[in-house]
Structure 1
Protein backbone atom coordinates (compact mmCIF):
# COMPACT_ATOMS: atom_id res chain seq x y z
CA UNK A 1 0.00 0.00 0.00
CA UNK A 2 2.92 2.36 0.70
CA UNK A 3 5.79 2.05 -1.75
CA UNK A 4 9.18 3.74 -1.52
CA UNK A 5 11.02 3.51 -4.83
CA UNK A 6 14.73 4.41 -4.91
CA UNK A 7 14.26 7.18 -2.35
CA UNK A 8 17.12 9.14 -0.83
CA UNK A 9 17.25 12.06 1.58
CA UNK A 10 19.69 14.91 2.06
CA UNK A 11 20.15 17.49 4.80
CA UNK A 12 22.10 20.57 3.71
CA UNK A 13 23.93 18.64 1.04
CA UNK A 14 24.70 15.66 3.29
CA UNK A 15 23.30 12.29 2.26
CA UNK A 16 21.24 11.00 5.20
CA UNK A 17 19.52 8.09 3.46
CA UNK A 18 21.06 6.31 0.50
CA UNK A 19 18.70 5.22 -2.30
CA UNK A 20 16.47 2.45 -1.00
CA UNK A 21 13.23 0.72 -1.91
CA UNK A 22 10.66 -1.00 0.29
CA UNK A 23 6.93 -1.60 0.64
CA UNK A 24 4.82 -1.21 3.78
CA UNK A 25 1.94 -3.67 3.74
CA UNK A 26 -1.46 -3.68 5.42
CA UNK A 27 -1.85 -6.14 8.28
CA UNK A 28 1.83 -5.91 9.21
CA UNK A 29 3.62 -4.38 12.19
CA UNK A 30 7.00 -3.14 10.96
CA UNK A 31 9.67 -1.98 13.40
CA UNK A 32 12.71 0.02 12.32
CA UNK A 33 15.84 -0.56 14.42
CA UNK A 34 19.37 0.82 14.26
CA UNK A 35 21.89 2.94 16.16
CA UNK A 36 21.59 6.67 16.81
CA UNK A 37 21.98 8.63 13.59
CA UNK A 38 21.26 5.66 11.34
CA UNK A 39 18.37 7.47 9.63
CA UNK A 40 15.38 5.84 11.35
CA UNK A 41 13.39 9.02 12.03
CA UNK A 42 14.36 10.37 8.60
CA UNK A 43 12.97 7.25 6.96
CA UNK A 44 9.75 7.69 8.94
CA UNK A 45 9.48 11.31 7.77
CA UNK A 46 9.71 10.17 4.16
CA UNK A 47 7.01 7.56 4.74
CA UNK A 48 4.65 10.07 6.34
CA UNK A 49 5.14 12.80 3.76
CA UNK A 50 6.69 15.20 6.27
CA UNK A 51 9.75 15.40 4.02
CA UNK A 52 10.16 14.91 0.30
CA UNK A 53 12.90 12.63 -1.01
CA UNK A 54 15.88 14.05 -2.85
CA UNK A 55 15.35 11.29 -5.40
CA UNK A 56 12.78 8.60 -6.04
CA UNK A 57 9.15 8.62 -4.94
CA UNK A 58 6.84 7.61 -2.09
CA UNK A 59 3.44 6.36 -3.23
CA UNK A 60 0.30 5.53 -1.27
CA UNK A 61 -1.97 3.22 -3.25
CA UNK A 62 -0.09 4.30 -6.36
CA UNK A 63 -0.45 8.04 -5.74
CA UNK A 64 2.59 10.21 -5.12
CA UNK A 65 2.54 11.27 -1.47
CA UNK A 66 4.00 14.69 -2.34
CA UNK A 67 0.88 15.51 -4.39
CA UNK A 68 -1.66 14.55 -1.75
CA UNK A 69 -3.33 17.36 0.20
CA UNK A 70 -2.57 17.39 3.94
CA UNK A 71 -6.26 16.91 4.72
CA UNK A 72 -6.37 13.71 2.69
CA UNK A 73 -3.18 12.41 4.26
CA UNK A 74 -4.54 13.07 7.74
CA UNK A 75 -7.45 10.75 7.00
CA UNK A 76 -5.17 7.89 5.91
CA UNK A 77 -2.23 8.11 8.27
CA UNK A 78 -1.46 9.38 11.75
CA UNK A 79 1.97 10.13 13.20
CA UNK A 80 3.23 10.03 16.78
CA UNK A 81 6.53 11.98 16.78
CA UNK A 82 9.41 11.52 19.21
CA UNK A 83 8.36 14.54 21.24
CA UNK A 84 5.49 17.02 21.35
CA UNK A 85 5.45 20.25 23.37
CA UNK A 86 2.45 22.41 24.22
CA UNK A 87 2.81 25.92 25.63
CA UNK A 88 -0.85 26.56 26.44
CA UNK A 89 -2.88 25.17 29.35
CA UNK A 90 -4.95 22.64 27.42
CA UNK A 91 -6.82 19.89 29.18
CA UNK A 92 -6.06 16.29 28.28
CA UNK A 93 -9.43 15.97 26.53
CA UNK A 94 -8.69 19.06 24.44
CA UNK A 95 -5.33 17.67 23.33
CA UNK A 96 -6.92 14.38 22.30
CA UNK A 97 -9.65 16.24 20.42
CA UNK A 98 -6.97 17.77 18.15
CA UNK A 99 -6.75 14.35 16.53
CA UNK A 100 -10.39 14.49 15.53
CA UNK A 101 -9.91 17.98 14.10
CA UNK A 102 -6.86 16.88 12.10
CA UNK A 103 -8.92 14.16 10.46
CA UNK A 104 -11.84 16.53 9.79
CA UNK A 105 -14.11 14.67 12.18
CA UNK A 106 -16.64 16.28 14.51
CA UNK A 107 -15.84 16.56 18.19
CA UNK A 108 -16.95 13.28 19.75
CA UNK A 109 -16.72 13.03 23.55
CA UNK A 110 -17.27 9.27 23.40
CA UNK A 111 -14.36 8.82 20.98
CA UNK A 112 -12.14 10.93 23.23
CA UNK A 113 -13.09 8.93 26.31
CA UNK A 114 -12.55 5.68 24.44
CA UNK A 115 -9.08 6.70 23.24
CA UNK A 116 -8.05 7.75 26.74
CA UNK A 117 -9.29 4.46 28.16
CA UNK A 118 -7.20 2.54 25.61
CA UNK A 119 -4.03 4.23 26.89
CA UNK A 120 -4.96 3.78 30.57
CA UNK A 121 -5.89 7.44 31.13
CA UNK A 122 -9.66 7.08 31.45
CA UNK A 123 -10.00 9.53 34.36
CA UNK A 124 -7.56 12.15 33.02
CA UNK A 125 -9.76 14.08 30.58
CA UNK A 126 -10.27 17.16 32.78
CA UNK A 127 -6.67 17.35 33.98
CA UNK A 128 -4.23 19.86 32.51
CA UNK A 129 -1.74 18.36 30.09
CA UNK A 130 1.18 20.35 31.56
CA UNK A 131 0.66 18.81 35.00
CA UNK A 132 1.26 15.25 33.79
CA UNK A 133 4.44 13.21 33.89
CA UNK A 134 6.43 12.66 30.71
CA UNK A 135 5.07 9.15 30.28
CA UNK A 136 1.50 10.29 30.81
CA UNK A 137 1.95 13.06 28.25
CA UNK A 138 3.29 10.53 25.77
CA UNK A 139 0.19 8.39 26.23
CA UNK A 140 -2.06 11.46 25.79
CA UNK A 141 -0.51 12.03 22.39
CA UNK A 142 -0.99 8.39 21.52
CA UNK A 143 -4.68 8.81 22.38
CA UNK A 144 -4.75 11.88 20.12
CA UNK A 145 -3.26 9.87 17.26
CA UNK A 146 -5.71 7.01 17.82
CA UNK A 147 -8.59 9.49 17.69
CA UNK A 148 -7.26 10.87 14.42
CA UNK A 149 -6.84 7.57 12.62
CA UNK A 150 -9.94 5.80 13.96
CA UNK A 151 -10.40 2.21 12.79
CA UNK A 152 -7.59 0.25 11.08
CA UNK A 153 -9.72 0.04 7.94
CA UNK A 154 -12.06 2.88 6.91
CA UNK A 155 -14.21 2.96 3.77
CA UNK A 156 -12.45 -0.18 2.58
CA UNK A 157 -8.97 1.32 2.79
CA UNK A 158 -6.34 0.40 5.40
CA UNK A 159 -4.99 3.19 7.59
CA UNK A 160 -1.36 3.73 8.52
CA UNK A 161 -0.04 4.39 12.00
CA UNK A 162 3.50 5.75 12.43
CA UNK A 163 5.12 5.71 15.88
CA UNK A 164 8.54 7.26 16.50
CA UNK A 165 9.94 5.84 19.75
CA UNK A 166 6.45 5.44 21.30
CA UNK A 167 7.66 3.78 24.53
CA UNK A 168 10.71 5.91 25.35
CA UNK A 169 9.18 7.48 28.49
CA UNK A 170 6.99 4.59 29.62
CA UNK A 171 7.26 2.02 32.40
CA UNK A 172 7.34 -1.64 31.38
CA UNK A 173 3.59 -2.21 31.84
CA UNK A 174 2.68 0.65 29.57
CA UNK A 175 5.41 -0.25 27.08
CA UNK A 176 3.79 -3.64 26.63
CA UNK A 177 0.30 -2.12 26.48
CA UNK A 178 1.24 0.44 23.81
CA UNK A 179 2.96 -2.13 21.62
CA UNK A 180 -0.03 -4.41 22.09
CA UNK A 181 -2.26 -1.63 20.76
CA UNK A 182 0.01 -1.23 17.75
CA UNK A 183 0.00 -4.96 17.07
CA UNK A 184 -3.80 -5.09 17.36
CA UNK A 185 -4.10 -2.20 14.88
CA UNK A 186 -2.08 -4.21 12.35
CA UNK A 187 -4.06 -7.37 13.08
CA UNK A 188 -7.20 -5.36 12.35
CA UNK A 189 -6.00 -4.68 8.80
CA UNK A 190 -4.04 -1.45 9.23
CA UNK A 191 -0.32 -0.91 8.74
CA UNK A 192 1.98 0.11 11.59
CA UNK A 193 5.56 1.37 11.38
CA UNK A 194 7.42 2.09 14.62
CA UNK A 195 10.94 3.10 15.55
CA UNK A 196 12.22 1.24 18.60
CA UNK A 197 15.56 1.01 20.38
CA UNK A 198 14.75 -1.97 22.59
CA UNK A 199 15.65 -5.03 20.53
CA UNK A 200 13.71 -7.39 22.78
CA UNK A 201 10.51 -5.39 22.46
CA UNK A 202 11.06 -5.07 18.71
CA UNK A 203 11.54 -8.81 18.30
CA UNK A 204 8.61 -9.61 20.57
CA UNK A 205 6.01 -7.51 18.76
CA UNK A 206 7.13 -6.93 15.18
CA UNK A 207 6.10 -8.98 12.19
CA UNK A 208 8.98 -7.43 10.31
CA UNK A 209 12.23 -5.72 11.28
CA UNK A 210 14.09 -3.21 9.12
CA UNK A 211 17.62 -2.63 10.38
CA UNK A 212 19.24 0.63 9.29
CA UNK A 213 22.93 1.41 9.37
CA UNK A 214 24.56 4.57 8.02
CA UNK A 215 21.47 5.47 6.02
CA UNK A 216 21.18 2.06 4.34
CA UNK A 217 19.05 -1.02 4.91
CA UNK A 218 21.29 -3.63 6.53
CA UNK A 219 18.56 -6.26 6.88
CA UNK A 220 14.82 -6.61 6.31
CA UNK A 221 12.66 -9.54 7.33
CA UNK A 222 11.04 -11.47 10.20
CA UNK A 223 12.77 -10.97 13.59
CA UNK A 224 13.72 -14.64 13.92
CA UNK A 225 15.48 -14.52 10.54
CA UNK A 226 17.45 -11.29 10.77
CA UNK A 227 18.18 -10.62 14.45
CA UNK A 228 21.46 -12.51 14.70
CA UNK A 229 24.84 -12.16 16.39
CA UNK A 230 26.33 -10.99 13.09
CA UNK A 231 23.66 -8.32 12.53
CA UNK A 232 24.00 -6.91 16.05
CA UNK A 233 27.77 -6.67 15.66
CA UNK A 234 27.56 -5.17 12.17
CA UNK A 235 24.83 -2.62 12.90
CA UNK A 236 25.37 -1.73 16.56
CA UNK A 237 29.09 -2.37 16.91
CA UNK A 238 28.83 -4.69 19.89
CA UNK A 239 29.36 -8.44 20.27
CA UNK A 240 26.14 -9.68 21.78
CA UNK A 241 24.97 -13.30 21.52
CA UNK A 242 21.37 -13.57 20.38
CA UNK A 243 19.33 -16.26 22.11
CA UNK A 244 15.94 -17.65 21.18
CA UNK A 245 12.88 -18.83 23.08
CA UNK A 246 11.90 -22.44 22.25
CA UNK A 247 8.28 -21.96 21.25
CA UNK A 248 7.37 -19.87 19.52
CA UNK A 249 10.92 -19.13 18.35
CA UNK A 250 11.67 -15.53 19.27
CA UNK A 251 15.12 -13.94 19.41
CA UNK A 252 16.27 -12.06 22.49
CA UNK A 253 19.42 -10.37 23.78
CA UNK A 254 20.89 -9.98 27.25
CA UNK A 255 22.90 -6.73 27.45
CA UNK A 256 24.92 -8.21 30.35
CA UNK A 257 26.56 -10.60 27.86
CA UNK A 258 27.88 -7.84 25.59
CA UNK A 259 31.53 -7.67 24.61
CA UNK A 260 32.29 -4.16 23.24
CA UNK A 261 34.26 -3.85 20.05
CA UNK A 262 37.35 -1.67 20.12
CA UNK A 263 35.64 1.41 18.70
CA UNK A 264 32.82 1.13 21.26
CA UNK A 265 35.30 0.67 24.09
CA UNK A 266 37.23 3.74 22.99
CA UNK A 267 34.05 5.81 22.91
CA UNK A 268 33.12 4.71 26.43
CA UNK A 269 36.55 5.60 27.81
Structure 2
Protein backbone atom coordinates (compact mmCIF):
# COMPACT_ATOMS: atom_id res chain seq x y z
CA UNK A 1 0.00 0.00 0.00
CA UNK A 2 1.22 3.52 -0.75
CA UNK A 3 0.22 6.67 1.04
CA UNK A 4 -1.07 9.69 -0.85
CA UNK A 5 -1.01 13.27 0.40
CA UNK A 6 -1.93 16.73 -0.81
CA UNK A 7 1.16 18.17 0.87
CA UNK A 8 4.16 19.05 -1.32
CA UNK A 9 7.10 16.66 -1.52
CA UNK A 10 10.12 17.91 0.44
CA UNK A 11 12.48 14.91 0.21
CA UNK A 12 12.55 12.39 -2.60
CA UNK A 13 14.70 9.26 -2.51
CA UNK A 14 14.97 6.97 -5.50
CA UNK A 15 16.52 3.52 -5.96
CA UNK A 16 18.57 3.58 -2.77
CA UNK A 17 20.83 0.58 -2.39
CA UNK A 18 23.17 -0.13 0.51
CA UNK A 19 24.87 -3.30 1.70
CA UNK A 20 27.16 -3.42 4.75
CA UNK A 21 29.09 -6.48 5.94
CA UNK A 22 27.13 -8.62 3.51
CA UNK A 23 23.75 -7.49 4.83
CA UNK A 24 21.34 -5.63 2.58
CA UNK A 25 20.16 -2.58 4.56
CA UNK A 26 18.28 -0.82 1.75
CA UNK A 27 17.13 -2.66 -1.34
CA UNK A 28 16.08 -0.49 -4.33
CA UNK A 29 14.33 1.75 -1.81
CA UNK A 30 12.02 4.60 -2.86
CA UNK A 31 10.24 7.12 -0.66
CA UNK A 32 8.84 10.66 -0.79
CA UNK A 33 8.55 12.73 2.39
CA UNK A 34 5.83 15.38 2.53
CA UNK A 35 5.65 18.74 4.26
CA UNK A 36 3.05 19.28 6.94
CA UNK A 37 2.92 15.77 8.35
CA UNK A 38 4.74 13.34 10.61
CA UNK A 39 6.12 10.25 8.90
CA UNK A 40 7.03 7.48 11.34
CA UNK A 41 9.68 4.96 10.25
CA UNK A 42 9.01 1.64 11.94
CA UNK A 43 10.34 -1.88 11.87
CA UNK A 44 12.29 -4.45 13.86
CA UNK A 45 15.90 -4.00 14.97
CA UNK A 46 18.22 -3.91 11.97
CA UNK A 47 15.42 -3.23 9.49
CA UNK A 48 17.20 -0.17 8.01
CA UNK A 49 15.31 2.68 9.69
CA UNK A 50 18.27 4.62 11.11
CA UNK A 51 20.32 3.85 8.00
CA UNK A 52 17.59 5.37 5.85
CA UNK A 53 17.51 8.46 8.06
CA UNK A 54 21.31 8.86 7.78
CA UNK A 55 21.12 8.61 3.99
CA UNK A 56 18.22 11.05 3.78
CA UNK A 57 20.16 13.65 5.76
CA UNK A 58 23.43 13.07 3.89
CA UNK A 59 25.36 11.49 6.75
CA UNK A 60 25.76 8.26 4.77
CA UNK A 61 26.14 7.75 1.03
CA UNK A 62 24.30 4.84 -0.62
CA UNK A 63 25.96 2.56 -3.14
CA UNK A 64 23.46 3.81 -5.68
CA UNK A 65 20.39 6.00 -5.82
CA UNK A 66 19.58 9.67 -5.40
CA UNK A 67 18.19 11.95 -2.70
CA UNK A 68 16.75 15.41 -3.40
CA UNK A 69 15.75 18.17 -0.98
CA UNK A 70 13.20 20.67 -2.29
CA UNK A 71 13.85 19.40 -5.85
CA UNK A 72 17.63 19.89 -5.52
CA UNK A 73 20.09 17.01 -5.37
CA UNK A 74 21.47 16.73 -1.86
CA UNK A 75 25.03 17.09 -3.21
CA UNK A 76 24.12 20.51 -4.62
CA UNK A 77 23.36 21.95 -1.20
CA UNK A 78 26.05 23.73 0.79
CA UNK A 79 26.10 22.10 4.22
CA UNK A 80 25.87 25.49 5.93
CA UNK A 81 22.81 26.36 3.83
CA UNK A 82 21.13 23.02 4.45
CA UNK A 83 21.73 23.35 8.20
CA UNK A 84 19.33 26.32 8.24
CA UNK A 85 16.51 24.05 7.03
CA UNK A 86 17.37 20.55 8.30
CA UNK A 87 17.54 19.63 11.98
CA UNK A 88 18.58 16.15 13.11
CA UNK A 89 18.27 14.57 16.54
CA UNK A 90 20.44 11.40 16.56
CA UNK A 91 19.96 8.43 18.86
CA UNK A 92 23.12 9.24 20.80
CA UNK A 93 25.48 12.18 21.21
CA UNK A 94 29.20 11.91 21.94
CA UNK A 95 29.37 15.41 23.40
CA UNK A 96 31.43 15.26 26.60
CA UNK A 97 32.69 18.83 27.06
CA UNK A 98 31.74 20.60 30.28
CA UNK A 99 29.37 23.00 28.55
CA UNK A 100 26.37 24.32 30.37
CA UNK A 101 23.04 23.16 29.00
CA UNK A 102 22.34 26.65 27.72
CA UNK A 103 25.63 26.60 25.79
CA UNK A 104 24.70 23.25 24.23
CA UNK A 105 21.35 24.62 23.07
CA UNK A 106 23.12 27.72 21.74
CA UNK A 107 25.10 25.45 19.39
CA UNK A 108 21.89 25.31 17.37
CA UNK A 109 22.33 28.97 16.43
CA UNK A 110 25.67 28.38 14.67
CA UNK A 111 24.15 28.26 11.12
CA UNK A 112 22.10 31.41 11.83
CA UNK A 113 23.04 35.07 11.53
CA UNK A 114 22.03 36.40 14.93
CA UNK A 115 23.11 39.03 17.41
CA UNK A 116 24.07 38.03 20.95
CA UNK A 117 20.72 39.26 22.21
CA UNK A 118 18.83 37.30 19.55
CA UNK A 119 20.78 34.15 20.44
CA UNK A 120 19.83 34.56 24.09
CA UNK A 121 16.18 35.23 23.27
CA UNK A 122 15.78 32.26 20.90
CA UNK A 123 17.72 29.89 23.15
CA UNK A 124 15.74 30.73 26.27
CA UNK A 125 12.42 30.62 24.41
CA UNK A 126 13.18 27.19 22.99
CA UNK A 127 14.38 25.87 26.35
CA UNK A 128 11.20 27.15 27.97
CA UNK A 129 9.04 25.52 25.30
CA UNK A 130 10.84 22.19 25.67
CA UNK A 131 10.66 22.25 29.48
CA UNK A 132 14.45 22.39 30.04
CA UNK A 133 14.88 26.01 31.08
CA UNK A 134 15.54 24.93 34.67
CA UNK A 135 18.56 22.97 33.37
CA UNK A 136 20.18 26.00 31.71
CA UNK A 137 23.05 26.48 34.23
CA UNK A 138 23.70 22.76 34.74
CA UNK A 139 26.82 21.17 33.24
CA UNK A 140 25.73 18.92 30.37
CA UNK A 141 27.78 15.82 31.41
CA UNK A 142 25.98 15.74 34.79
CA UNK A 143 22.56 15.16 33.22
CA UNK A 144 20.64 11.92 32.98
CA UNK A 145 20.21 10.29 29.58
CA UNK A 146 16.68 11.61 29.21
CA UNK A 147 17.69 15.13 30.18
CA UNK A 148 20.51 15.07 27.61
CA UNK A 149 18.04 13.94 24.96
CA UNK A 150 15.73 16.83 25.79
CA UNK A 151 18.60 19.35 25.69
CA UNK A 152 19.56 18.17 22.21
CA UNK A 153 15.95 18.39 21.11
CA UNK A 154 15.96 22.02 22.25
CA UNK A 155 19.21 22.54 20.30
CA UNK A 156 17.64 21.15 17.12
CA UNK A 157 14.52 23.29 17.47
CA UNK A 158 16.73 26.35 18.03
CA UNK A 159 18.57 25.51 14.81
CA UNK A 160 15.26 25.42 12.91
CA UNK A 161 13.90 28.63 14.44
CA UNK A 162 14.44 30.52 11.16
CA UNK A 163 13.74 27.71 8.69
CA UNK A 164 10.57 29.41 7.40
CA UNK A 165 8.67 27.34 4.82
CA UNK A 166 11.59 24.98 4.13
CA UNK A 167 11.82 23.00 7.33
CA UNK A 168 12.76 19.35 7.89
CA UNK A 169 12.95 17.75 11.33
CA UNK A 170 14.48 14.27 11.66
CA UNK A 171 14.26 12.46 15.00
CA UNK A 172 15.94 9.08 15.57
CA UNK A 173 14.25 7.34 18.51
CA UNK A 174 13.64 10.64 20.34
CA UNK A 175 11.61 9.04 23.14
CA UNK A 176 13.94 6.13 23.96
CA UNK A 177 15.25 7.63 27.23
CA UNK A 178 12.25 9.75 28.20
CA UNK A 179 9.64 9.31 30.89
CA UNK A 180 5.98 9.06 29.94
CA UNK A 181 5.15 12.77 30.15
CA UNK A 182 8.21 13.88 28.18
CA UNK A 183 7.62 11.25 25.51
CA UNK A 184 4.28 12.84 24.79
CA UNK A 185 5.54 16.42 25.15
CA UNK A 186 8.33 15.73 22.64
CA UNK A 187 5.97 14.21 20.09
CA UNK A 188 3.42 16.98 20.66
CA UNK A 189 6.12 19.52 19.77
CA UNK A 190 6.95 17.53 16.65
CA UNK A 191 3.23 17.54 15.85
CA UNK A 192 3.17 21.32 16.25
CA UNK A 193 6.14 21.64 13.88
CA UNK A 194 4.30 19.56 11.28
CA UNK A 195 1.15 21.63 11.70
CA UNK A 196 3.23 24.72 10.87
CA UNK A 197 4.39 23.07 7.62
CA UNK A 198 7.54 21.16 8.56
CA UNK A 199 8.31 17.73 7.17
CA UNK A 200 8.87 15.56 10.26
CA UNK A 201 10.45 12.10 10.11
CA UNK A 202 10.60 10.06 13.30
CA UNK A 203 12.18 6.65 13.88
CA UNK A 204 10.19 4.89 16.61
CA UNK A 205 9.85 1.42 18.11
CA UNK A 206 6.63 2.09 20.03
CA UNK A 207 3.88 1.40 17.50
CA UNK A 208 1.18 2.85 19.75
CA UNK A 209 3.04 6.14 20.16
CA UNK A 210 3.54 6.28 16.41
CA UNK A 211 -0.15 5.62 15.79
CA UNK A 212 -1.11 8.45 18.15
CA UNK A 213 1.08 11.14 16.57
CA UNK A 214 2.01 10.18 12.99
CA UNK A 215 -0.20 10.80 9.99
CA UNK A 216 1.83 8.29 8.00
CA UNK A 217 3.50 5.05 9.04
CA UNK A 218 6.20 3.39 6.95
CA UNK A 219 7.03 -0.12 8.15
CA UNK A 220 10.39 -1.43 6.93
CA UNK A 221 11.82 -4.95 7.00
CA UNK A 222 15.09 -6.11 5.45
CA UNK A 223 15.52 -2.85 3.58
CA UNK A 224 12.10 -2.88 1.92
CA UNK A 225 8.80 -1.15 2.67
CA UNK A 226 6.21 -3.61 3.97
CA UNK A 227 3.46 -1.06 4.63
CA UNK A 228 3.03 2.64 3.90
CA UNK A 229 -0.13 4.43 4.87
CA UNK A 230 -2.23 5.88 7.64
CA UNK A 231 -2.04 4.21 11.07
CA UNK A 232 -5.21 2.22 10.33
CA UNK A 233 -3.82 1.11 6.97
CA UNK A 234 -0.36 0.16 8.24
CA UNK A 235 -1.17 -1.46 11.58
CA UNK A 236 -2.90 -4.56 10.30
CA UNK A 237 -2.44 -7.66 12.50
CA UNK A 238 -1.21 -9.71 9.53
CA UNK A 239 1.41 -7.08 8.67
CA UNK A 240 2.63 -6.83 12.28
CA UNK A 241 2.83 -10.61 12.58
CA UNK A 242 4.73 -10.88 9.30
CA UNK A 243 7.22 -8.11 10.12
CA UNK A 244 7.70 -8.59 13.87
CA UNK A 245 6.78 -12.24 14.26
CA UNK A 246 4.27 -11.42 17.00
CA UNK A 247 0.52 -11.74 17.23
CA UNK A 248 -1.43 -8.59 18.08
CA UNK A 249 -4.98 -7.39 18.03
CA UNK A 250 -5.85 -3.86 16.91
CA UNK A 251 -8.53 -1.75 18.59
CA UNK A 252 -9.68 1.87 18.36
CA UNK A 253 -8.47 4.03 21.23
CA UNK A 254 -11.51 4.58 23.48
CA UNK A 255 -11.12 8.37 23.46
CA UNK A 256 -9.17 9.44 20.38
CA UNK A 257 -9.96 6.65 17.93
CA UNK A 258 -6.47 5.93 16.60
CA UNK A 259 -5.50 2.24 16.36
CA UNK A 260 -4.12 0.71 19.53
CA UNK A 261 -2.21 -2.58 19.57
CA UNK A 262 -2.59 -5.19 22.27
CA UNK A 263 -0.25 -8.17 22.43
1:71 and 1:104 in contact (8 A); partners too: no
Extract unaligned runs of 5+ from structure 1: 259-269
Give the C-alpha shift of residue 183 in structure 1. Answer: 0.5
Q: Determine the structure 2 residue equivalent to 1:186.
A: 194
SS in 2 for 1:238: coil
TM-score, reference length from structure 2: 0.91
In the alignment, structure 1 residue 206 sits paired with structure 2 residue 214: yes
Q: Once structures 1 and 2 are overlaid, which stretch shifts more, 14-23 or 227-236?
A: 14-23
Give the C-alpha shift of residue 86 in structure 1. Answer: 1.8
Q: Determine the structure 1 residue equivalent to 2:144.
A: 133
Q: Determine the structure 1 residue equivalent to 2:4.
A: none
In the alignment, structure 1 residue 42 sits paired with structure 2 residue 51: yes
Deviation beyond 4 Å, 4+ runs, structure 1: 103-107
Decide which of 114, 117, 132 is 2:128's aligned counterpart: 117
2:88 and 2:171 in contact (8 A); partners too: yes
Decide which of 84, 87, 104 is 1:95's aligned counterpart: 104
Decide which of 4, 19, 31 is 1:22's aligned counterpart: 31
Decide which of 155, 179, 185 is 1:171's aligned counterpart: 179
Q: Determine the structure 2 residue equivalent to 1:51.
A: 60
2:196, 2:249 → 1: CA distance?
A: 34
1:106, 1:46 → 2: CA distance?
A: 33
Decide which of 208, 220, 225 is 1:217's aligned counterpart: 225
Q: Structure with the greater relative contact order (CA < 8 A, sep ≥ 6): 1 or 2? A: 2
1:125, 1:26 → 2: CA distance?
A: 32
1:224 and 1:249 in contact (8 A); partners too: no
TM-score, reference length from structure 1: 0.89
1:106, 1:213 → 2: CA distance?
A: 47
| Count, aligned residues | 252
